[in-house]
Chains A and B, each alone.
Chain A
Amino acid sequence: MTLYDIIFYLFALITIVSAIIVVTSKNIIHAAFSLLLTFCGVAGIYILLGADFLAVVQIMVYVGGILVLLIFGVMLTSKVTSLEIKTGAWNVLPASAAIGMVLGIVLIIMTGTQWFTYTSSIPATTIYGIGDLLVSDYVLIFELLGMLLLIALVGAASIARRDKE
């Protein structure tokens, strides 16, 4: 058990426990704030994997953008008469059974396979490498994604503001 392992188990615990709260909590606001912890835990796991830039992007986009958007969605789509905003649950038993089976199979596959691992040294920063790849090998995907994001956001604004005639 090195320090790396201990930090990994800490982040893994944060991620899994808060994800369990997200999907089991009846109170939507509690679920949203647990989702914050899940995203931060995943960002920590990215750092442990040597992906520093991705961890920063995860915090900025997920915590700063998507989570705020989701909380706005919760606030705008419930009749706020009290502090408690609840969600119902259905199909709990069949879902648990199905998830148990899927998780079991995937875990058996993942732990049973002899992965060929190639341990390279973690670079001090990945920003230069990612920037180089973005304007060389992946430039087409980069440009297309930029356009897609623009179209999607304009479309979302226009759908959300459409008035009923």
Chain B
Amino acid sequence: MLTVGLTHFLVISAILFSLGIYGIITRKNAVMVLMGVELILNSANINFVAFARFGAFGLSGQLVALFVIVLAAAEAAIALAIVLNIYKTFSNVNVDEISNLKE
């Protein structure tokens, strides 16, 4: 049980995923919600790389993880631009207080 195998990496990824969901649900600040999303993307990446290592897929899993990292960069940039606009309009970024589509 102590010898590290595929299951250990999957367990780490599951814990990171749950913590990411927890952050998304409970944090009020929009930037903290983004941090939760990053945790979830990282947990998915660990899964991809672990199956690439322990399965007979060659390097394809690592490539998909690379693509996920690129998408995460694009997502963070767009999301922060939106958060900046929300701050300009509502003067705060608490997701529970922003309930209007238009001021």
Chain A interface residues (CB < 8 Å from chain B): 1-2, 4-5, 8-9, 12, 15-16, 19-20, 22-23, 28, 31-32, 35, 38-39, 42, 45-46, 48-51, 53-54, 57-58, 61-62, 65-66, 69-70, 72-74, 76-78, 87-92, 94-96, 98-99, 102-103, 106-107, 110-111, 115-120, 122, 126, 129-130, 133-134, 137-138, 141, 145, 148-149, 152-153, 155-157, 159-160, 162, 164
Q: How far is the CA of A46 from the CA of B73 in the complex (A)?
A: 18
The answer to whether A62 touches B26, judged by C-beta atoms less than 8 angstroms apart, is no
Contact A22-B14, Cβ < 8 Å, known A1-B2, A69-B76: no
Residues of A within 8 A of B7 (CB): 110-111, 115
Is B12 touching A35 in the complex (CB atoms < 8 A)? no
Q: Which of B23-43 contact A (CB under 8 A)?
A: 23, 25-32, 34-36, 38-39, 42
Do B78 and A155 touch (CB < 8 A)? yes
Contact partner of A28 among B32, B39, B50, B60, CB < 8 A? B32
Report which of B21, B32, B50, B78 forms a contact with A99, defined as CB distance below 8 A. Answer: B21
Least Cβ–Cβ distance between B60 and chain A, in angstroms: 7
When A42-B46, A95-B25 are in contact, do A15 and B16 touch as well, CB less than 8 Å? Answer: yes
CB neighbours (8 Å) of A141 from chain B are 67
List, sorted by A's number, 6 A–B pairs whose CB atoms are closer than 8 Å: A8-B8, A20-B19, A74-B31, A78-B93, A88-B27, A106-B17
Chain B residues engaging chain A, CB cutoff 8 angstroms:
2-12, 14-23, 25-32, 34-36, 38-39, 42, 45-46, 49-50, 52-56, 58-60, 62-63, 65-67, 69-78, 80-85, 87-89, 93-94, 96
Contact between B96 and A70, CB atoms less than 8 A apart = no
Q: Are B59 and A133 in contact (CB under 8 A)?
A: yes
Given A73-B84, A115-B6, A148-B74 in contact, is the A54-B29 Cβ separation under 8 Å?
no
Do B15 and A16 touch (CB < 8 A)?
Answer: yes
CB distance B69 to A62 under 8 Å?
Answer: yes
Say yes or no: A49 contacts B22, CB within 8 Å: no
Bound form: Cα–Cα A95–B27 in Å: 11
Which B residues touch A137, using CB under 8 A?
60
A71, closest chain B residue (CB)? B31
Contact B63 A23 (CB under 8 A): no
